[in-house]
Structure 1
């Protein structure tokens, strides 16, 4: 059952930050009784989506539509240009923000508060922790304190922030913004023209293009990194990493539990820790640098080998009881650092 509470329209024109503009708001509240199998989809634009969890068998969605303009009539017209389509079929609940652009004529609109022809649509969602969620949001931020069910987020021209994602079925896609995640148990992250910060993760697949990548602590990582700088603090399991035009890729620590790291690099530099590792490093049009002591080679090129030729180095540092490192690098240097 869905409960739609009355819409409330308010006018505010005494805010000094409004530069004499008329601001109007419309408040919409939707409530849905749900089962654990129900999936909520929010498809929004030009506003913020905030997700909260609670211990009720219902989903409550509070929507605030804000518009301002130079006149009362025009502000009302802009406010009326926004409609929220609601569709419920079987286990799917869909809320879609629509904007009738013809209502703006040649005026257009923007998303900067205090400017003329401003429009914003903000969603605040309260939902049970067991229900899956899909969020599509353009030109606005998406915030999730914590989430335990399967989650899909497609954020464009906005930032994504999450504190805890402890389900393995996460699919996060961020373009032209930034993503900051505290802890993530598993899933897929795709970032384009966006910076990604991930404090802690267990098993993740990452595609990162044209943005910086920073991971604090990760167990298993499968990553494709293009035109992006990348730094990893600690790796505890295994890594399969492809680099393309990615300068200064670095892993600070490989723990005793880290099994293997396989890196395929083109036009990229690679820096890895050298403690008790086994290594198989191949470089073309690049150099391999390693500690000057405690290194035992089972294979290495002639000292007079040309720098542009393929050169392969195999061996171990110390006991070689630690991580097995395999690097194949073209047009970039590889360094094992104490």
Structure 2
């Protein structure tokens, strides 16, 4: 286990170094006067970005809320939104990423007569519905990109890469849904004897919880899937607006291609707190994909997206402090019935 941990640290460090070196090269060739002017172009319009991301986060909250089944009546959407923001903030900066964030969400639900098993199932199921909807949108985005590359003069290698990506995504999506329809069987047992077994059993438990949810409450499963699809679509419009504010008009589908690709690249460095360097590198690569090769635009986009991220992280921290200072706010006003499991 020690060797695996050392190897993971080395791999993350190597990825981070490559990203930082690449960023340093582009920054060295940046026109900072043009950069300043472009940031000024956005100005007060940045509030539109905050409203847009709030809408996306709220849609994600609805996706999670539906996974709570009958127990969702025990908690308001406002509190669930706050808990989601607190958990996502921790996930962003904690080396264990979404694991730490999701476990915190489970703990925050305890005062609402939502037992740990139901809370854990809701969190893990929402991750799966979010991932499945993301795979669908990424597939659509790649098909769109392929149709554009066919109309344009691009390398045959890029066309083949996009085609292979589409095939892999379709096969993955098909395999996941076949697995969801199969009988649940006994619940997997957590094995912490090694990093590999711990990771494997954690994923098995996550998918098992989603299978239980899917097979017992298909209606809410598909509603959750739909809300998470809206979550990704609305979130992708951030890039569309930022580029529009800077004088670059792209199609909404282009922004979906950008956002889905950035998320996939960022996942490679998920263990790096805040994906520092990785996200900026992802912004650069994806902007190149749609023909925007200006280093100034890339850095402007990266700065503004980081600024938005910092604002929402601060909101997450403030919410965390609020509920810690005023623990009574964690408790529901009045619950008339005892909790029952949703699944």
TM-score per shorter chain, which class? under 0.3
Larger Rg: 1
Q: Higher relative contact order at CA 8 Å, sep ≥6: structure 1 or structure 2?
A: 2
The normalised TM-score by structure 1 is 0.19
